[in-house]
């Protein structure tokens, strides 16, 4: 086998202040001193990449606040780290929007639309993570990992809009997620805001692990009759730490 | 960086004889002589994993016959290759059902339901590839990469049924794929079989690159009006060689 370095990197994403943001830390030493990096580091001899990414993320955030972690992709261009041959196994990790994790002084959140100078190929990793998240919002229930545990439909719409980068309709979002069995009312409401109106109902996601929301839609009978439940709903094949 | 080996492995899948099969080669030397392995090998110093998998697959099949290749997952358990530390970047590759690639004498197709003794963790890679394919059949047009370029709906149903492991309805398959703009008639027909009947229309997939077939369904207006086309349809975020 050829001798290579292997690192793990995590793009930790959260909707903060109505924008999709990523956690980066500022490099204090060469190479690329002063540039902003994804959390991560070299794979240890006795750990797999899932254990490694959790160990290394723990230096930056309380990993109990990660609502979802999955393998993203391998970045392996021979020149991605100048002067070294380092393969990167990357992860997408999510934090619910109601958390505000304690982070070290060298670490900060940045809107993905306004990244600072990033190190190596880390910008490409961030954009890949964003694109993966956007795709999955369209065919999975991954919204559970971005939203607070309980939310109004209006708050959920804000989370989806920030993650997708364009405004979505609260009415349609509620209709489609409810029809797919993903949303359920908690039975509670929140009082109307200062401008009045009615109390708003609170909802939660029915499941807190990722699932394809429209499984095997291709093979369902036409919409006039309810689809039979598949014997065992397919879960995502992407591995999760 | 720690010094590790890095290999690439490909699960090449094809629907053959109405079953989903995988391409394996029989190991002629230790370790694990006689067991069946996925095609692949060590990553070269000057190639990325996508170039590497195509180079190594070329020893087993005509890579021009691969209709789709994507990163699958990293397998990194410290003991996955006894006595060595080798990380595997794995790929899912597909061959259309009308091809019959020329393969070497040490190489054979096996139904995934009836695998022989496999080497290392390769069985887990095969099952992961099968599960990824099954998931993607439900929310992408990946059927294009399994079916022949032109097919009757009945033949397409057989391909989907083999890949999914259960029989699907030809009527529903045609309806849903057509509604999503994935199927188009070629204008040709094939004559009825010996038992008579009508000529069967031939179809093809509208696109030969992977795409989510129900993009952002969550945010569409209700089904009574046709959905507006999104400004730029999302493509899959998984990297493809």
Query: Taking Cα atoms as reference points, which of A175, A70, A196 lies closest to residue A133?
Result: A70
| B217 Cα to chain A: minimum distance (Å) | 6
**Looking up tokens 């196994």, which residue turns up?**
A89
A238 touches chain B (CB under 8 A): yes
Position A93 scores a pLDDT of 98
| B181 Cα to chain A: minimum distance (Å) | 12
The per-type count for chain B, helices as H runs and strands as E runs, is 4, 9
Instruction: Give the H/E segment covering residue B16.
Output: strand B5-16
A215 touches chain B (CB under 8 A): yes
Q: How far apart are the first and last CA of chain B?
A: 26
pLDDT value at B225 more than 90 = no
B223 touches chain A (CB under 8 A): yes
B74 touches chain A (CB under 8 A): yes
Q: Chain A contacts of B219, Cβ < 8 Å?
A: 138, 160, 164, 168-169, 172-173, 176
| A47 Cα to chain B: minimum distance (Å) | 6
A49: left (phi over 0), alpha (psi -120 to 50) or beta: alpha
pLDDT in tens, B122-166: 999 999 999 999 999 988 999 999 999 999 999 999 999 999 998
Do A5 and B7 count as a contact with CB atoms less than 8 A apart? Answer: no
A58 touches chain B (CB under 8 A): no
Q: Which CATH class is domain A5-137?
A: alpha beta
* B12 confidence band (pLDDT: 50, 70, 90): very high
Provide the token pair at A227. 């689809």
| Interface probe with A: pick from B139, B173, B224, most Cβ of A within 10 Å | B139
Position B223 scores a pLDDT of 41
Task: State the CB neighbour count (10 A cutoff) for residue B44.
Answer: 15
| A236 Cα to chain B: minimum distance (Å) | 7
Position A215 scores a pLDDT of 54
Do B138 and A89 count as a contact with CB atoms less than 8 A apart? Answer: no
Residue of A nearest to B133 (CA): A237
Position A226 scores a pLDDT of 42
Long-range contacts at B163-170 (CB < 8 A, ≥ 24 apart):
B163/B15, B163/B20, B163/B133, B163/B134, B163/B137, B164/A216, B164/A219, B164/B134, B164/B137, B165/B20, B165/B113, B165/B134, B168/A218, B168/A219, B169/A219, B169/A221
In the 8-state DSSP scheme, what is residue A143? Answer: G
| A149 Cα to chain B: minimum distance (Å) | 20
Predicted model pTM = 0.88
| B196 Cα to chain A: minimum distance (Å) | 28
pLDDT in tens, B25-71: 999 999 999 999 999 999 999 999 999 999 999 999 999 999 999 99
pLDDT in tens, B166-190: 889 999 899 888 888 899 999 999 9
Position B195 scores a pLDDT of 79
Do A42 and B2 count as a contact with CB atoms less than 8 A apart? Answer: yes
Position A214 scores a pLDDT of 64
Partners of residue B109 on adjacent β-strands: B23
* B214 confidence band (pLDDT: 50, 70, 90): low
ipTM of the complex: 0.86
Position B1 scores a pLDDT of 39
Beta carbon pairs, A and B, within 8 Å: 181
Do A219 and B169 count as a contact with CB atoms less than 8 A apart? Answer: yes
Mean pLDDT by 10 residues, chain A (241 residues): 80 97 96 97 96 96 95 97 95 97 96 98 98 92 97 96 92 88 94 85 95 61 40 41 33
**Domain locations in chain B as residue ranges:** 5-137, 140-205
- The string of DSSP letters for A155-210 reads HHHHHHHHHHTS---HHHHHHHHHHTT-EEEEEEEE--BTTB-PPEEEEEES-SS-
Do B168 and A219 count as a contact with CB atoms less than 8 A apart? Answer: yes
Q: Is it true that domain A140-205 has CATH number 1.10.10.10?
A: yes
Do B138 and A85 count as a contact with CB atoms less than 8 A apart? Answer: no
Alpha-carbon distance A147 to B129, whole Å? Answer: 31
């Amino acid at each position: 086998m050829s001798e290579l370095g292997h690192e793990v990197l995590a793009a930790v994403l959260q909707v903060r202040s109505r924008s999709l943001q990523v956690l980066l830390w500022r490099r204090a030493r060469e190479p690329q001193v002063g540039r902003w990096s994804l959390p991560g580091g070299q794979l240890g001899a006795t750990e797999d990449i899932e254990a490694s990414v959790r160990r290394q993320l723990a230096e930056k955030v309380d990993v109990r606040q990660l609502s979802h972690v999955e393998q993203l992709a391998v970045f392996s261009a021979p020149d991605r780290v100048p002067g070294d041959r380092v393969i990167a196994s990357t992860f997408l990790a999510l934090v619910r929007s109601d958390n505000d994790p304690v982070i070290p002084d060298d670490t900060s959140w940045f809107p993905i639309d306004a990244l600072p100078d990033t190190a190596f190929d880390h910008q490409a990793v961030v954009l890949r993570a964003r694109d993966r998240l956007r795709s999955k919002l369209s065919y999975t229930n991954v919204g559970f990992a971005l939203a607070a545990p309980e939310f109004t439909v209006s708050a959920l719409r804000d989370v989806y809009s920030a993650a997708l980068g364009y405004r979505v309709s609260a009415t349609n979002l509620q209709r489609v997620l409810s029809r797919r069995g993903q949303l359920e009312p908690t039975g509670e409401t929140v009082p109307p805001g200062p401008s009045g109106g009615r109390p708003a109902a609170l909802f939660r996601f029915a499941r807190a692990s990722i699932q394809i929301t429209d499984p095997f839609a291709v093979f369902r009978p036409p919409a006039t009759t309810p689809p039979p439940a598949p014997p065992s709903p397919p879960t995502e094949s992407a591995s999760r730490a």
